[in-house]
Structures are given as structure tokens and as C-alpha cells.
């Protein structure tokens, strides 16, 4: 009888090990949300390539766009707001005046690529991302496309 109880106990313990990848988090509003691991991108030390890394995210879909922007953006650029269009296939990111602080082609390339890859990685239906400046689609920088969409194909995603 002791062997049977021991075997049953070990089966329950082993079955429970390693099956919970999400951790419940108290939101302070009386409900629990589960933390999930998402993949984001960052520039390498020479700002030549992008590398994926994992980050823990707790929230809903509406929180994910600003969360990604905040964690990936390595410049002082402010995200004023954002909208999804075309059945969530297009993401419009409205940037503040700080976009002028992005220096040179390499800086702009890493700014765009790390953000675009992070959004494409986490929004499966997303096909294009457009950066605009204070609501305008007018091109204001020579080293970054403002008002022109970046597509998945540009980044081989």
C-alpha cells in the first residue's frame, strides 16, 4: 500500500513540474493577468545587426504596442499615439518632435529595424508599419522614412 501511495504521489508531483510557463500577476484591480514571454529585438554593440531577446509582458493587447515601444526604443523619441488600420494589418506610430534626435543612417536603421521586427514578431496579422510625425505623413528626415510604410518583406519576416 505504501508503494502505491508513493507512486501516485510522485506521478502527481512530476506531472505538475514544468507545465506552467505563465505566472499569475495581481493587477491590483481584483483580477489576475498572466505574464507571458515575448520576443523583442535590440541592436548589437556596433549597431550593425539586430538580435532577439525575451521580455516578460503582463497586460492586454492594448498595452502591448506602448510596452514594445518603451522597451525597444533606445532614443528619446516619444510615442504620441498609435492606430491599427486595415483589419490590424497596418500599424501607424505617431512620433513626437524628438524623432529629430535620431542621428544618421545607422541610428535610424536600428531605430526602425528593432521596432519593426519587434512588432512583426508579436502581431502575426501585421503586414506594415508606418512612422508619422505629429500626425503628418510628410517626409521630414533624409535617413528615415516618415509617412512611408515598412513591410514585413523588408525585414525578411
Checking if the pLDDT of 156 tops 50, the result is yes
Closest CA to 134 of 87, 78, 90: 78
Instruction: Specify the pTM.
Output: 0.77
Give the orientation angle of helix 104-122 with respect to helix 61-72, to 10 degrees.
150
**Cell numbers found for residue 155:** 525585414
What value does the mean pLDDT of the chain take?
A: 83
**Averaged pLDDT, 22-51:** 73
pLDDT digits (tens, 9 = 90+) for 107-125: 899 999 999 999 999 999 9
Euclidean distance between CA atoms 122 and 87, whole angstroms = 16
Task: Dump the DSSP string for 22-47.
Answer: SEEEE-SSS-EEEEEEEEEEEE-TTS
Domain locations along the chain: 22-155
CA distance readout (Å), 1 to 4, 5, 6, 91, 155: 5, 6, 9, 63, 62
Euclidean distance between CA atoms 82 and 80, whole angstroms = 7
pLDDT for 92: 98
Confidence band, pLDDT 50/70/90 cuts, at residue 33: low
Confidence band, pLDDT 50/70/90 cuts, at residue 47: confident
pLDDT digits (tens, 9 = 90+) for 54-108: 999 999 888 999 999 999 999 999 999 999 999 999 999 999 999 988 888 888 9
Confidence band, pLDDT 50/70/90 cuts, at residue 128: very high
Amino acid at each position: 500500500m505504501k508503494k502505491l501511495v508513493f507512486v501516485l504521489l510522485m506521478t502527481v508531483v512530476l506531472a505538475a513540474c514544468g507545465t506552467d510557463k505563465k505566472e499569475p500577476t495581481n493587477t491590483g484591480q481584483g483580477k489576475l493577468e498572466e505574464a507571458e514571454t515575448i520576443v523583442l529585438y535590440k541592436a548589437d554593440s556596433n549597431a550593425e545587426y539586430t538580435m532577439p531577446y525575451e521580455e516578460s509582458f503582463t497586460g492586454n493587447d492594448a498595452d502591448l504596442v506602448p510596452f514594445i515601444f518603451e522597451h525597444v526604443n533606445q532614443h528619446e523619441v516619444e510615442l504620441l499615439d498609435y492606430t491599427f488600420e486595415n483589419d490590424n494589418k497596418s500599424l501607424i506610430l505617431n512620433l513626437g518632435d524628438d524623432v529629430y534626435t535620431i542621428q544618421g543612417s545607422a541610428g535610424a536603421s536600428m531605430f526602425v529595424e528593432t521596432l519593426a521586427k519587434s512588432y512583426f514578431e508579436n502581431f502575426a496579422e501585421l503586414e506594415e508599419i508606418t512612422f508619422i510625425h505629429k500626425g503628418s505623413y510628410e517626409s521630414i528626415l533624409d535617413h528615415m522614412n516618415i509617412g512611408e510604410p515598412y513591410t514585413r518583406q523588408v525585414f525578411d519576416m
